[in-house]
């Protein structure tokens, strides 16, 4: 036997930077697959700008806290690991909040209490406990980066649809409705649009989120009907999936037996 290759998300080599990045971005997207971080997802996505800013702030905290926790994983005593994680995460949240206050005060005010609440975001704390505290620095950093960008993309898309349908704007630019910036006959047609204000309310967030989750489930179901293995559309590292290469042949072994 030449070696054993442990496979993770999407069938890639487990704990490699690419596998960790795509795991959070696609396979275990925290919003659309794991359904984590629902509080900021539903509360701040009244516009694409708010969603993008919140997502990027969370990404910075997630990636840097993962990196720091991984660096200190052999130093932090197990009995105080939870308070230690909170202190590390809170430090990066404070730095992000001070940066927003200095350079983007209007966005900081719009996001309000949800920036400091990143400290207790279950996505960040969950990755610290489940992954960063048990793995090396590089995979931990890319795990945080992938999870953060997966969260960013999801809530930005939600904010985009809520803003577009509910106010007729995209990143604050009027596209639909009376004040549209589009000139000529096309602008006249677009100006007839009446924004559906329910989409910028809390209930609108549920509608858009449900639509996106249903779309992802449909994609996975269609892949399964085509005979493609959708079981790899998640992190399979915890099931101890091994690909054994011996004498030019491959044998797949799982925790439940052999296939």
From the list 60, 127, 140, 154, the residue with the least C-alpha distance to 100 is 60
Summarised one tens digit per residue, pLDDT across range 16-66 is 999 999 999 988 899 998 899 898 899 999 999 999 999 999 999 999 999
0.85 exceeded by pTM: no
Write down the pLDDT at residue 224. 76
Give the mean pLDDT of the chain: 84
**pLDDT mean over 191-196:** 88
**Taking residues 183-203, what's their average pLDDT?**
86
- Listed by start position, the domains of the chain span 29-233
Lowest mean pLDDT among 125-139, 145-159, 241-255: 241-255
pLDDT of residue 237: 39
Q: Give residue 83's pLDDT band: very low, low, confident or very high (50, 70, 90).
A: very high
Q: Is the pLDDT of residue 8 over 70?
A: yes
pLDDT in tens, 206-226: 999 999 999 888 888 887 787
Per-residue pLDDT for 161 more than 90?
Answer: yes
């Amino acid at each position: 036997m030449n070696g054993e290759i442990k496979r993770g998300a999407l069938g890639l080599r487990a704990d490699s930077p690419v596998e960790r990045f795509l795991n959070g971005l696609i396979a275990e997207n925290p919003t659309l697959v794991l359904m984590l971080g629902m509080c900021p997802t539903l509360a701040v996505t009244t516009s694409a700008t708010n969603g993008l800013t919140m997502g990027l702030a969370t990404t910075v905290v997630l990636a840097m806290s993962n990196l720091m926790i991984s660096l200190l994983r052999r130093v932090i005593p197990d009995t105080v690991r939870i308070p230690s994680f909170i202190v590390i995460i809170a430090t990066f949240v404070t730095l992000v909040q001070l940066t927003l206050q200095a350079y983007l005060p209007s966005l900081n005010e719009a996001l309000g209490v949800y920036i400091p609440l990143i400290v207790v975001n279950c996505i960040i704390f969950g990755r610290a406990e489940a992954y960063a505290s048990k793995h090396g620095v590089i995979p931990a950093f890319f795990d945080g980066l992938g999870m953060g960008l997966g969260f960013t993309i999801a809530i930005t898309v939600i904010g985009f649809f809520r803003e577009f349908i509910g106010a007729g704007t995209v990143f604050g630019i009027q596209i639909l409705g009376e004040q549209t910036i589009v000139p000529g006959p096309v602008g006249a047609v677009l100006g007839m649009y009446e924004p559906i204000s329910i989409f910028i309310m809390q209930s609108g967030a549920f509608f858009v989120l449900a639509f996106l989750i249903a779309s992802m489930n449909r994609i996975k179901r269609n892949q399964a009907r085509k005979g493609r293995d959708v079981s790899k559309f998640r992190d399979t590292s915890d099931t101890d999936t091994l690909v054994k290469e011996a004498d030019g042949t491959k044998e797949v072994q799982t925790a439940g037996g052999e296939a």
